[in-house]
Chain A
Amino acid sequence: MYVYDEHDRQMAAERVAQFRDQTERALAGELAEDEFLPLRLQNGLYVQRLAPMLRICVPYGMMRSDQLRRLARITRDYDKGYAHFTTRQNVQLNWPALEDVPDILAELAEVEMHANQTSGNCIRNTTTDQFSGVQSDEIADPRPYCEIIRQWSTFHPEFAFLPRKFKVAVNASEQTDRVAIQVHDIGLQMVRNEAGDLGFRVHVGGGLGRTPMVGPVIRDFLPELDLLTYLEAVLRVYNRYGRRDNKFKARIKILVKALTPEGFAEKVEAEWQHIKESPTRLTPEAIQRIQAYFTEPDYAAIDNATDLLASQRFENRGFDQWLTHNVDTHKKAGYAIVSLTMKKTGTPPGDVSDKQLEQIADLADEFSFGEIRVTHQQNVVLADVRQDRLFELWQAITPMGFGTANLNTLTDVICCPGGDYCALANAKSIPVAEAIQRQFDDLDYLYDLGNIDLNISGCMNACGHHHVGNIGVLGVDKKGQEFYQISLGGSSHHDASIGKILGPSFARDEMPKVISKIIDVYVDKRTEEETFLDTYRRVGIDPFKERVYA
């Protein structure tokens, strides 16, 4: 994992001092509310329905156990003792006091953390696959490139006041996409060209919100050394030509659409020609230097524990289910990737208490070289667990509530905070997630249904990514009443697509029944091999409509 050197430490400390000064000027009335707004947003502070909310950056989702313990302490000392994992691999606190924020940031800086650029119209945290570096099918480890992007984008003087927020995600596997790169402002897919050189396929202009769009490809192959100069060209074109007259049309997706992807690509190429050979061009040494931080941990030379696991599975059905669903194959013999699910029914998806943060830290130290990864699906990954200790781990996490064996199933819901916390909400989202989880409490039935992405947002801002859920739920306001609109057929993976609206919306208490009917149609129509999405794509929306509105 990346470790700060004296440069990073110095800038982190300078940033805290700067924000302390800005906060003092704001509290003294020297900064108007609208002048302070972007400054606090770029330090993670968003003012909410009930209190300010602080979004803490977890670069590409990686954290060490000491950082988790510090987060736990911060939630206890400055907040109500819990935190929330977000869909962009960050952590959110819901109740900090404005005047405490500089102290919180100082405490974070001590453990090499910060809240830089987690909100506001700037380049946000770069996200990537939580299985980076431990899965066998990746082109290369994407994390060094994420760190390179992090450094380039941090306090970038030209791009601190973009038309709108800007999100970059990097994916390295050709089979899977766990970070939804095609619905990011820039999505980078690592690829090798025919000569075997490493590079990126560049998608620009994806995004959700009011105008959901899948990002078109604007360059098929960008050599790795050209990464930063090309990003700089994209950002410069966006900074200069993105719309600033209307907040809802300010995302880069609107510009790409207006210019057409080809027209946009041409503008970027023209800009890029000027800066391509500038000192911002990466060097092999610079990449190797960062890669050296992401070397393999000290793995033991062991074999797969196939026989042991087989007998443990045989004796324990719960362990068997968990192993099948929440544990993934590791590139290293004898090791496994474990997802701790934060989706226990009755707990808001992604919520953790201070105690649980400490438990996760202990688990990381005990089982996974002291590191964890936060996932886009709001879960936590222990990436390097010895197979012969999986049973022990499973026994430890079950009472903690992290062992629900529902990863990627219908009840592994992505859900925004919604009306319980968010001032912008049309409707609550957490109780809908919970009601659906209660309806589908039979694990065997869930497994039979296979992988289904159910995503819930409390309003059009789409924090819960409802557009790209196989089943999407959106809170809407109907004459002051909370209603829910359903869309079907979305995907955030390599086959990305935006879901189609099913029809008129429903009251909250109808939702579990409606979801059941949708699932019934799938079960009736599917062929043996088909996932929910496959069936939907084959039969279309009509059979679902007929059943639900019958």
Chain B
Amino acid sequence: MPNVISPDGSIRQDNWVVVPRPAEGESLDIPADQPALIPADLWLAGYEHFTGRQEIGVWFDSHDEPEILDGRVNELPVIAVNFPKFSDGRGYSIGRLLRERFGYKNELRAIGDVLLDQLQFMKRCGFDAYVLRADKDINKAARCLNFFSQGYQAATDTEIPLFRRRAS
């Protein structure tokens, strides 16, 4: 069961599983008794079957286009974004687009190579659940999420950039 970190650094557990993309010709292996995150394009392909189900969410890989879910994001209880390598920053743009452009309201989860020093950026880009890589010390998450009390620029967490806050 994954430990899930919240933006305030608190830790909870849940049992969402990430279902990998099936190989050519294979079908999705969705567990019967657990909520599951499936590749977003496959959710769309099986839309009739999946929509409205509270135990099915989706995940995007870093090269995927979140645009495919425009207009439907809030039908999903959880959207996850995979960081295949912590140095792959595409997931930050995906997070902001989902939140700021497509108006996604439910849980946005960071999965994959999620390390302590990247949590602060994820938080600012709209992620509100982080599944830390297993070998990292989860008890340091709260500290690493809170080094900065504010940011200069607008992002998902701060609609108003500092230059406008200063002016008022």
Task: Kindly state the separation between the CA atoms of A254 and B89 in the bound complex, as whole angstroms.
Answer: 18
Q: Does B53 sit at the interface, judged by CB under 8 A?
A: no
Kindly identify which residue among B89, B147, B151, B160 contacts A161, using a CB–CB cutoff of 8 Å.
Answer: B89
Kindly identify which residue among B92, B118, B147, B164 contacts A279, using a CB–CB cutoff of 8 Å.
Answer: B164
Q: Does A315 sit at the interface, judged by CB under 8 A?
A: no
Interface string of A232-250 (1 = CB under 8 A from B): 0000100110001000000
Q: Does A155 sit at the interface, judged by CB under 8 A?
A: yes
Interface string of A16-49 (1 = CB under 8 A from B): 0110011001000011000100110000000000
Q: Which residues of A contact B147 (CB under 8 A)?
A: 14-15, 17-18, 21
Q: Which residues of A contact B121 (CB under 8 A)?
A: 157-158, 160-161
A157 x B151 contact (CB < 8 A): yes
Task: Kindly state the separation between the CA atoms of A49 and B46 in the bound complex, as whole angstroms.
Answer: 56
Task: Kindly state the separation between the CA atoms of A18 and B153 in the bound complex, as whole angstroms.
Answer: 19
B92 x A160 contact (CB < 8 A): yes
B89 x A289 contact (CB < 8 A): no
Task: Kindly state the separation between the CA atoms of A162 and B92 in the bound complex, as whole angstroms.
Answer: 10
Task: Kindly state the separation between the CA atoms of A143 and B70 in the bound complex, as whole angstroms.
Answer: 40
Q: Does A10 sit at the interface, judged by CB under 8 A?
A: yes
Q: Does B124 sit at the interface, judged by CB under 8 A?
A: yes
Task: Kindly state the separation between the CA atoms of A103 and B116 in the bound complex, as whole angstroms.
Answer: 22
Q: Which residues of B contact A161 (CB under 8 A)?
A: 86-89, 92, 118, 121
Task: Kindly state the separation between the CA atoms of A38 and B115 in the bound complex, as whole angstroms.
Answer: 13
Kindly identify which residue among A17, A25, A30, A244 contacts B88, using a CB–CB cutoff of 8 Å.
Answer: A244
B93 x A240 contact (CB < 8 A): yes
Please give the number of chain B residues whose Cβ is less than 8 angstroms from any Cβ of chain A in the complex: 40
Task: Kindly state the separation between the CA atoms of A21 and B144 in the bound complex, as whole angstroms.
Answer: 9
Q: Does A121 sit at the interface, judged by CB under 8 A?
A: yes
Task: Kindly state the separation between the CA atoms of A156 and B96 in the bound complex, as whole angstroms.
Answer: 12
Please give the number of chain A residues whose Cβ is less than 8 angstroms from any Cβ of chain B in the complex: 44
Name the residue on A nearest B86 (C-beta): A35
CB distance from A485 to the nearest CB of B (A): 33
Task: Kindly state the separation between the CA atoms of A539 and B19 in the bound complex, as whole angstroms.
Answer: 66
Q: Does A154 sit at the interface, judged by CB under 8 A?
A: yes
Known: A121-B87, A157-B121, A244-B88. A11 touches B161 (CB 8 A): no
Kindly identify which residue among B88, B117, B123, B160 contacts A22, using a CB–CB cutoff of 8 Å.
Answer: B117
B162 x A151 contact (CB < 8 A): yes
Kindly identify which residue among A11, A15, A283 contacts B164, using a CB–CB cutoff of 8 Å.
Answer: A283
Task: Kindly state the separation between the CA atoms of A520 and B140 in the bound complex, as whole angstroms.
Answer: 66
Q: Which residues of B contact A244 (CB under 8 A)?
A: 88, 90
Task: Kindly state the separation between the CA atoms of A280 and B165 in the bound complex, as whole angstroms.
Answer: 11
A151 x B164 contact (CB < 8 A): no
Q: Which residues of B contact A283 (CB under 8 A)?
A: 163-164, 167
Q: Which residues of A contact B87 (CB under 8 A)?
A: 38, 121, 161
Kindly identify which residue among B92, B116, B143, B149 contacts A157, using a CB–CB cutoff of 8 Å.
Answer: B92
Name the residue on A nearest B137 (C-beta): A30
Q: Does B154 sit at the interface, judged by CB under 8 A?
A: yes
Q: Which residues of A contact B86 (CB under 8 A)?
A: 35, 161
Q: Which residues of B contact A17 (CB under 8 A)?
A: 147
Name the residue on A nearest B62 (C-beta): A244
CB distance from B73 to the nearest CB of A (A): 15
Q: Which residues of B contact A31 (CB under 8 A)?
A: 117
Q: Does B166 sit at the interface, judged by CB under 8 A?
A: yes
CB distance from B134 to the nearest CB of A (A): 14
Q: Which residues of B contact A11 (CB under 8 A)?
A: 148-152
Kindly identify which residue among B123, B153, B159, B163 contacts A286, using a CB–CB cutoff of 8 Å.
Answer: B163
Kindly identify which residue among A5, A39, A160 contacts B89, using a CB–CB cutoff of 8 Å.
Answer: A160
CB distance from B114 to the nearest CB of A (A): 12
B101 x A151 contact (CB < 8 A): no
Known: A156-B153, A158-B125, A274-B101. A239 touches B163 (CB 8 A): no
Name the residue on A nearest B159 (C-beta): A279
Q: Does B120 sit at the interface, judged by CB under 8 A?
A: yes
Q: Does B17 sit at the interface, judged by CB under 8 A?
A: no
Known: A151-B163, A157-B92. A21 touches B137 (CB 8 A): no
Q: Does B11 sit at the interface, judged by CB under 8 A?
A: no
**Which residue, of A15, A38, A244, A274, has the highest number of chain B Cβ atoms within 10 A?**
A244
Q: Does A440 sit at the interface, judged by CB under 8 A?
A: no
Give chain A's interface secondary structure class.
helix
Q: Which residues of B contact A285 (CB under 8 A)?
A: 167
Task: Kindly state the separation between the CA atoms of A477 and B40 in the bound complex, as whole angstroms.
Answer: 50
CB distance from A519 to the nearest CB of B (A): 46
A155 x B148 contact (CB < 8 A): yes
B152 x A239 contact (CB < 8 A): no
Q: Which residues of B contact A279 (CB under 8 A)?
A: 154, 159-161, 164
Q: Does B155 sit at the interface, judged by CB under 8 A?
A: yes
Q: Which residues of A contact B125 (CB under 8 A)?
A: 157-158
Task: Kindly state the separation between the CA atoms of A274 and B155 in the bound complex, as whole angstroms.
Answer: 14
A280 x B166 contact (CB < 8 A): no
Task: Kindly state the separation between the CA atoms of A35 and B132 in the bound complex, as whole angstroms.
Answer: 14
Task: Kindly state the separation between the CA atoms of A240 and B161 in the bound complex, as whole angstroms.
Answer: 23
B89 x A155 contact (CB < 8 A): no
CB distance from A256 to the nearest CB of B (A): 18
**Which residue, of B117, B123, B144, has the highest number of chain A Cβ atoms within 10 A?**
B117
Q: Does A394 sit at the interface, judged by CB under 8 A?
A: no
B101 x A5 contact (CB < 8 A): no
Name the residue on A nearest B117 (C-beta): A39
A289 x B166 contact (CB < 8 A): yes
A158 x B117 contact (CB < 8 A): no
Q: Does A479 sit at the interface, judged by CB under 8 A?
A: no
Task: Kindly state the separation between the CA atoms of A152 and B164 in the bound complex, as whole angstroms.
Answer: 12
CB distance from B29 to the nearest CB of A (A): 29
A154 x B152 contact (CB < 8 A): yes
Instruction: Pick the 9 closest A-B CB pairs, nearest first.
Output: A161-B89, A157-B124, A18-B147, A286-B163, A157-B121, A158-B92, A151-B152, A280-B154, A14-B148
24 contacts between A and B (CB under 8 A): A11-B150, A14-B148, A14-B149, A17-B147, A25-B116, A39-B117, A151-B163, A157-B92, A157-B120, A157-B121, A158-B92, A158-B96, A158-B155, A159-B92, A161-B87, A161-B88, A161-B89, A278-B154, A279-B164, A280-B153, A283-B163, A286-B164, A289-B166, A290-B163
Chain B residues within 8 Å of A, Cβ to Cβ: 86-90, 92-93, 96, 101, 115-118, 120-121, 123-125, 136-137, 140, 143-144, 147-155, 159-164, 166-167
Extra contacts, 4 of them, besides A30-B136, A148-B163, A158-B155 (Cβ < 8 A), are A17-B147, A157-B123, A158-B96, A279-B154
